[in-house]
A and B are shown apart, each in its own frame.
Chain A
Amino acid sequence: MTSEKTPGQQAPSHPLQSSKLSQLTRRSMLGLGGLALAGATVGAWPRLTGADIPGRGSKALNIAILGTAADAAGRQGLIQAFTAAHPDIPVQLQAIQGADWKDFFSKILTMVAAGTPPDVVYVATEGAQLFADKLAEPLDSYVRRDAAQMSDYFDDVHPSLLEAFMYQGSLYQLPLDWNAANMYLNTTTFAQAGLDRPKDDWTKDDFTATLRALRKARPADFTPYYWTNRLFGGVVPWLYANDTSFLSETKAPGGDWLWDSFYPNDPARATRGGGYQWLGPNAEDGRVIETFDYLRELVAEGLGVRPESGGGNALVGLFGNNRIGTTPAGGYWAQGLHEAGMTADQFDVQFFPRWRTQRHQFGAAGYAIMRTAKDKDAAWEWVKFCSSREAMQLAIPKPNTTPTRRSMVNESFYSATGPRHWKVFYDTLDKFPTSGPIPAPPQQAAVETALMKNVSTAVSGSSADVRTAMGALQRDLELALRRKS
C-alpha cells in the first residue's frame, strides 16, 4: 500500500496534515509502534520480571512489618543503629499494609508461595503458632549461645510474655511490644455520674453498677461500655476473668531450658511449660455460657453495645468526645487518645474487673526468623539487636504500644500523654502472673472466624439463644481445629 492520495480525498487543509508525519506509511507506523513497544518493555523489565520487589535478588536481610511506608520510614533510626553495629549486614525493611494481623499473615504467606519470602517477619500472638508450626526457625540455640548477652533482656521482660511465644518446648520470638486488655475509663463521664476511679480489685458486679450509674447520668447518645467483636478485647477477657475460655487451654511439656536459665526465681515457675496449647473446643462449658449470658444482659439492658466486628477505628474519636464511658484496650491507646486531643486527666485506666479470677488477656509481638531465611545468623543478629534497650527505645519512642521491657514503662514514657495510672499496664503481668495470651492455635484464622460469628448471635437474643449459639460455636471450633493448619 502507499500513502498517496486516493481519488476524492480532500487536500489537507491543516499544516500538520501536510507534514512528514502524515506521509508515514502504515508499515513505518507499525515499525515505530514496534520500536516503542520494545522500548517500553526494556524500561519496564524490572517490573515485568518482579526484580523491583524489595528483597528479590538482594543479599540484604529482608524484614517485613505490618504497616505503611511511613511506618517503615519511621524505623530508619533503628536500621541506622543496626547498620552501625553490624556494617556487614545490609538490611531492607518492608512495610506490608493490612487491615489486621490476619490480613498481614495472608500476605506473608502469599509471598512465601511466590518464592519471595522475607527473612524476618514481625509476628503478633495471633500468628505466633501458625509461624512456629510452619514457617519460623526456633531461637533456642541462638538464645543458649548468646545467653550472657541475652540475660539483660530476660531480666527486664516478664516471663509470661516469653511463654506466649513458646511452641512445643521451643522459643520462636523475643516479644518486643505487648498490650493487655485493661479497662479504659472516661473520667469526664465518670465525674458526671459522680463516680471515682474503681478500686484495683473491682468486681464484675461493681462494673455493672458503674455502667448503670453512667447510663443514669447520660441516658442518651452515650454508651457506657463499648466493645468490639474480635479475639483481643472482645469476649475473651471476660472468659479469662471467669476462669474459662472457649478453647481448652493446656501447656506443652518442655521449655525448662529457658525458665531454669533465665527465670529461676519466677514465682510462677511451677506453672511454666513449653508453650500454650489449644487443642479442643470448650464453648459449651457452663462458665463460657455464663460469661456470654452476662454480656448479653449488658447489651439487653442498654449498658453495652452489640459488638461490631473488626477493630475500633472510630473508637478513639468517640471516646474523646465523651460518648463512651468504658472500653477494654491496652497501652497502645495512650498515644491515640493524646493525639485525639484528650489530656492526661480526661482518661484513666484500671485492671479488668475480677470475676472468679482477675486473670487478664494480653497480646504481644516480636520478630520471627523464617526457616527460608538466606542468612539465619544475620537474622538472629537483627532479632537480638531489636531486643536491646537502645533499639527498643528507637522502635517505640511514644506510647503507641507497651514495651516489653519493664524498665521502659516509666513516668517519662507517659509524661506527655498520661494516663495517670500508667503503672496498671505492666502491673497487669506483675500482679496477675497467670494472665494469658490471645488463644491462637495454628488454625487461628478459622478459630477467630468461628468465634466472631457466634459472639454476635449469642449476645443479640435471649438467654436460650446463648446456649444455641454456643452449640454452633462448639461445632465450628471442632471443624476448625480438625483441619491441619
Chain B
Amino acid sequence: MTTTSTVPRQTVKPPAVHRSFVERWLARIFLAPTVLGMALFTFLPIIASLVLAFFRWDIISAPQFVGLDNFAVLAQDPTVRVSFLNTIVFVVVAVILQLGIALGLASMLQARMPSWLRVFLRSTFFFPLVLSAASVSIFMRYMFNEQFGVVNWLLSLVGIPAVPWLTSPTASAAVVVLVYVWQNFGFSFLLFLGALTNIPKELHEAANLDGATGWKQFSNVTLPLISPTVLVASVMAIISALQVFDQPYVLTNGGPGDSTRTAVMVIFESAFQQLEFGKASAIGLVLTVLILAVTALQFRLSRRFVFYQ
C-alpha cells in the first residue's frame, strides 16, 4: 500500500480578501510588538554577530577590523576543530538514541495496559524535560563521581570495579550523551505518541488481514504514516543537539582534555571568558551554516521517506 497522493499538485489562488483600512492598520499594530521583538532580539543580534565575525573585540576596547583573521584562527585552533568533531559525533549518537528510545517507548504505550499506568509512564518519560539542564547535570555529576558516586557504589555491589565516569575520555562522553538523551527524549516521545495515536485502527486491521505482523507492520504501515512526525522530531532533535552546552559544561567542563568540548562551549569560552567576541562570532557563524546545511539536507532527503496522507 502507499499513502502518497496521486493528485498532481496545483497552485490554488486564494480568494481575494478585501480588508478595510482600519483592519489593516489594526493588524499591523497587533503584529508590531512581535515583529519589533524579533527584530531587536533575534535579527539584530544575528546581524551584529555576522559583522562581529570580521572584527577583533574584547568588549572594552573599540572593535578592530581584521577581515578573515578570525576564520583563519578557527582553522588553526585544534580546540575548535575537536569541538566541532565532538559535536557532530554527539549529534549522530544522541539523536539516534533519542529518537529510537522515544519511538520505542511511544510504541510500548500503544500496547494494552491500564490507563493509570499509561498516564504514569507518560508523565515519567516527560518529566526530565521540565527540569533545568544545569540542575540535572549537577545532580548527575555527584551520581557519577568515581570515588563517591552512587552509580559506582551500585556497580560495586555486583563486583564491578569503579568506572572513571567523568575523568576518562570515553566514559565521560558516554555520560554526557546518556544524561542529554535521558533529559530530552520526552519531547520526541510526546510527538511520536500523538502521531501513533492518530493512525486509524483500520489500517492496522487491514494489514493484519493481509498477514503483516510485528516488524513488517511497523515498517510498512506505522513508520510511513508517522514519517512526517519523524522528520519534524529529527530536525528539532538535530538542531537542539548541535547546540548542546549545559550538560557537557556542568558535567565535565569539556574534559578530560577536549573529549566533551562542544562547539557552543567554545563559543561561550571565547566570548565570555576569553573576551574574543570576534572569534566567538565566527564560530557561531560556522555553526549556523552547519545547522542550516544539515536541516536543508534533511528536508531534501525527506522526499524519499516522508509520506503525507
Interface residues of A (CB under 8 A from B): 102, 106, 109-110, 112-113, 134-135, 223, 226, 229, 305-310, 314, 318, 323, 443, 445-446, 449, 452-454, 456-457, 460, 469, 472, 475-476, 479-480, 483-485
Q: Which chain B residues lie closer than 8 Å to A309 at the CB level?
A: 252-253, 255
Please, which residue of chain B has its CB at the minimum distance from the CB of A135? B60
Could you tell me if A305 and B146 are in contact, using CB atoms closer than 8 angstroms? yes
**Closest residue to A37 on the B side, CB-wise?**
B33
CB proximity of A32 to chain B, nearest CB, Å: 15
**Are B273 and A445 interface neighbours, CB within 8 A?**
yes
Given A456-B167, A476-B79: A485 touches B273 (CB 8 Å cut-off): no
Closest residue of A by beta carbon distance from B172: A456
- Check B148–A443 contact: CB distance below 8 A: no
For window 234-265 of B, CB contacts with A under 8 Å fall at: 252-258, 261
Q: Which residues of A contact B58 (CB under 8 A)?
A: 134, 484-485
Residues of A within 8 A of B169 (CB): 457
User: Are B60 and A134 closer than 8 Å at their CB atoms?
Assistant: yes
Residues of B within 8 A of A485 (CB): 58, 275
- B167 close to A483 (CB less than 8 A): no
Whether the pair B273, A308 counts as a contact (CB closer than 8 A) is no
CB proximity of A99 to chain B, nearest CB, Å: 9
Please tell me which one of the listed residues A134, A135, A443, A456 contacts residue B274 in the complex, with CB atoms under 8 A apart.
Answer: A443
Q: Which of A305, A306, A449, A457 has the most CB atoms of chain B within a 10 A radius of its CB?
A: A449
| B296 interface residue per 8 A CB criterion | no
Docked CA distance A305–B61 (Å): 42
Q: Does B269 lie at the interface of the complex (its beta carbon under 8 Å from any beta carbon of A)?
A: yes
Most buried by B among A102, A110, A308, A323: A308
Of the candidates A106, A452, A454, A457, the one whose C-beta lies within 8 Å of that of B272 is A106
Give min CB distance, A166 to chain B, whole Å: 21
- CA A314 to CA B149, docked complex, whole Å: 11
Chain B residue contacts of A445, Cβ below 8 A: 269, 273-275
Enumerate chain B residues within 8 angstroms of A480, measured Cβ to Cβ. 274
The complex places the Cα of A307 from the Cα of B147 at a distance, in Å, of 11
CB of B273 within 8 A of CB of A306, answer no
**CB 8 Å contact bits of B54-81 with A (1 = contact, 0 = none):** 0010111100000000000000011100
Cα–Cα distance between A229 and B146 once the two chains are bound (Å): 15
Write out the residue numbers on chain A whose beta carbons fall within 8 Å of the beta carbon of B258.
Answer: 453
Q: Is B127's CB within 8 Å of the partner chain A?
A: no
B256 partner, pick from A106, A109, A456, A484, beta carbons under 8 A: A456
Known: A109-B60, A445-B273, A453-B254. A306 touches B148 (CB 8 A): no
When distances are taken between beta carbons in the complex, the residues of chain B under 8 Å from A318 are: 148
Complex contacts, A314 vs chain B, CB 8 Å: 142, 145, 148
- Answer yes or no: B282 CB below 8 A from chain A CBs: no
Shortest Cβ gap from B63 to chain A (Å): 12
What A residues does B110 contact at CB under 8 A?
none
Shortest B29–chain A CB gap in Å is 10
Given contacts A309-B253, A445-B269, A452-B253, contact A109 B147 (CB under 8 A): no
Within the complex, the shortest CB–CB distance from A114 to chain B, in Å, comes to: 10
14 CB < 8 A contacts A-B: A135-B60, A305-B146, A306-B256, A309-B252, A309-B253, A445-B269, A453-B254, A453-B256, A453-B258, A453-B261, A456-B167, A457-B257, A476-B79, A484-B58
Chain B residues with CB under 8 A of A476? 79
Nearest A residue to B164, CB-CB: A306
The 6 closest A-B pairs by CB, nearest first: A456-B256, A306-B167, A445-B273, A309-B253, A457-B257, A113-B59
Consensus secondary structure, chain B interface? loop
Known: A113-B59, A323-B148, A457-B257. A308 touches B274 (CB 8 A): no
Tell me whether B208 is interfacial, beta carbon within 8 Å: no
Shortest CB distance B204–A (Å): 41
Report the Cα distance A112→B273, complex, angstroms.
14
Q: Are B256 and A457 in contact (CB under 8 A)?
A: yes
How far is it, in angstroms, between the C-alpha of A109 and the C-alpha of B60 when the chains are bound? 8
A449 touches which one: B56, B269, B272 (CB < 8 A)? B269
Q: Residues of A contacting B60 with CB < 8 Å?
A: 109, 112-113, 134-135
- Complex Cα–Cα for A307 and B256 (A): 10
B148 contacts A308, C-beta separation under 8 Å:
no
Provide the bound-state CA to CA distance between A69 and B194, in Å.
45
Asked whether, in the complex, the Cβ of A446 is within 8 Å of the Cβ of B274, the reply is yes
B168 at the binding interface (Cβ < 8 Å): yes
B164:A483 contact, CB within 8 angstroms: no
Interchain CB contact under 8 A, B167 and A460: yes
Which residues of chain B (253-294) have a CB below 8 Å from chain A?
A: 253-258, 261, 269, 272-276
A173 to chain B, nearest CB (A): 18
Interchain CB contact (< 8 A) of B275 among A109, A310, A453, A454: A109
Whole-angstrom distance from the CB of A64 to the nearest CB of chain B?
16
Are A308 and B167 within 8 A (Cβ)? yes
Chain A nearest CB from B289 CB (Å) reads 24
- CB-nearest residue of chain B relative to A456? B256
With both beta carbons as reference points, the residue of chain B lying nearest to A318 in the complex is identified as B148
Instruction: Please give me the residue from chain A that is nearest to B141 by CB atom.
Output: A308
**Would A449 and B273 count as touching, CB distance under 8 A?**
yes
A483 neighbours in B (Cβ, 8 Å): 274, 276
Q: In this complex, which of B142, B256, B261, B269 has the most chain A Cβ atoms within 10 angstroms of its Cβ?
A: B256
**Chain A residues near B272 (CB-CB < 8 A):** 106, 109-110
Question: Which residues 5-61 of B have a CB within 8 angstroms of A?
Answer: 56, 58-61
Measured in the bound complex, the distance between the Cα atoms of B169 and A482 in whole Å is: 28
Complex formed: what's the CA distance from A310 to B164 in Å?
17
A229 to B145, CA, bound (A): 14
* With known contacts A109-B60, A135-B60, A452–B255 Cβ distance under 8 A: yes
CB distance from A115 to the nearest CB of B (A): 11
Interchain nearest-CB distance for A431 vs B (Å): 33
Closest CB in chain B relative to A3 CB, distance in Å? 18
A480 to B79, alpha carbons, bound, how many Å? 12
- B226 sits at the interface (CB 8 A): no
* Cβ-defined contact, B59 with A308, below 8 A: no
Residue B175 is within 8 A (CB to CB) of chain A in the complex = no
Interfacial chain B residues near A110, Cβ < 8 Å: 59, 272
Q: Is the CB of B255 within 8 A of A479?
A: no
Instruction: Give every chain A residue within 8 A of B255 (Cβ-Cβ).
Output: 229, 309, 452-453, 456-457
Given A306-B164, A445-B274, answer yes or no on A460-B148 (Cβ-Cβ < 8 Å): no
Residues of A within 8 A of B253 (CB): 309-310, 452
Among residues of A, the one whose C-beta sits closest to the C-beta of B168 is: A460
Given A446-B273, A485-B275, 5 more contacts at CB 8 Å?
Answer: A106-B272, A109-B60, A134-B60, A472-B257, A480-B274
Distance between Cα atoms of A484 and B66 in the complex (Å)? 13
A453 to B61, CA, bound (A): 29
- Known A134-B60, A476-B79; judge A223-B147 contact (CB<8 A): yes
Across the interface, name the chain A residue whose C-beta is closest to B76.
A479
User: In the assembly, what is the distance between CA of A173 and CA of B167, in Å?
Assistant: 37
**What is the CB-to-nearest-CB distance from A117 to chain B, in angstroms, rounded to a whole number?**
10
A268 nearest CB across to chain B (Å): 34
Q: Does B166 contact A (CB under 8 A)?
A: yes
Closest Cβ of chain B to A96, distance in Å, is 14
Please measure, in the bound complex, the distance between the C-alpha atom of A112 and the C-alpha atom of B275, giving whole angstroms.
12
